[in-house]
């Protein structure tokens, strides 16, 4: 029976992920043997799972730097660009244990874990890369808001001022 995970709101700052008390729900998907949705749906599923598991050290890095490629009852496939993470036995065993706890809490069958090693640039939807993109987008938006603010623009114009590049921080 294929599985999918219903997305929930989760903070995407990978360094400060707090595990919710209950895991995101896993529900039946389409009748296909494997859930292979669009990349953003799979990415959100993996972000939610990683946030719930709250892994630390190498296992946490493996989870945060990998992207979910596919998920079925029988197999879960991740893709990671770092050979040292993807082949570390302790990280893999810790991740497998966390996934077992995760799926067991939901009363679901625990899929086998397969981690593929990818070339640099192939992993685009890992929790870490999603978080970095959100931070970059937020900073760009904050810079644009500051530059377009009428009072700031007037000060820069009237007093020949300048906005220091690293002085803008998003909320």
> Residue 110 has what DSSP assignment?
P
pTM flag (> 0.75): no
Task: Based on the fold, state whether residues 159 and 83 are members of the same structural domain.
Answer: no
- Structural domain boundaries, residue 135: 128-167
Chain segment 12-64, per-residue pLDDT in tens? 233 333 334 455 544 433 323 345 557 788 899 999 999 999 999 999 999 99
Task: Based on the fold, state whether residues 107 and 157 are members of the same structural domain.
Answer: no
* Contact (CB, 8 A) for 91 and 132: no
- The helix (H) or strand (E) run that includes residue 148 is helix 127-148
Task: Based on the fold, state whether residues 53 and 135 are members of the same structural domain.
Answer: no
Chain segment 68-96, per-residue pLDDT in tens? 999 999 999 999 999 999 999 999 999 99
Say how many Å lie between the first and final Cα of the chain, rounded.
43
Task: Based on the fold, state whether residues 120 and 47 are members of the same structural domain.
Answer: yes
- The helix (H) or strand (E) run that includes residue 50 is helix 39-53
How big is the chain by its Cα radius of gyration, in Å?
A: 20
- Across the chain, the runs of DSSP E, i.e. the strands, are 3-5, 26-28, 66-71, 75-80, 112-117
Task: Based on the fold, state whether residues 114 and 142 are members of the same structural domain.
Answer: no
Q: Give me the number of domains the chain comprises.
A: 2
Task: Based on the fold, state whether residues 85 and 20 are members of the same structural domain.
Answer: yes
Task: Based on the fold, state whether residues 140 and 88 are members of the same structural domain.
Answer: no
């Amino acid at each position: 029976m294929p599985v999918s995970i219903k997305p929930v709101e989760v903070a995407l700052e990978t360094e400060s992920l707090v595990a919710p008390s209950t895991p995101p729900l896993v529900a039946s998907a389409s009748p296909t043997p494997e859930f292979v949705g669009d990349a953003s749906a799979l990415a959100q599923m993996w972000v939610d799972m990683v946030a719930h598991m709250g892994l630390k050290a190498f296992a946490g890095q493996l989870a945060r730097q990998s992207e979910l490629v596919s998920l079925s009852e029988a197999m879960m496939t991740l893709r990671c660009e770092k050979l040292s993470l993807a082949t570390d036995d302790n990280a893999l065993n810790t991740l497998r244990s966390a996934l077992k706890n995760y799926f067991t809490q939901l009363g679901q069958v625990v899929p086998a874990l397969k981690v593929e090693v990818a070339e640099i640039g192939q992993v685009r939807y890992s929790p870490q890369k999603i978080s970095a993109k959100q931070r970059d987008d937020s900073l760009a938006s904050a810079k644009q808001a500051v530059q377009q603010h009428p009072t700031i623009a007037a000060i820069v114009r009237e007093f020949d001022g300048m906005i220091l590049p690293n002085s803008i921080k998003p909320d």
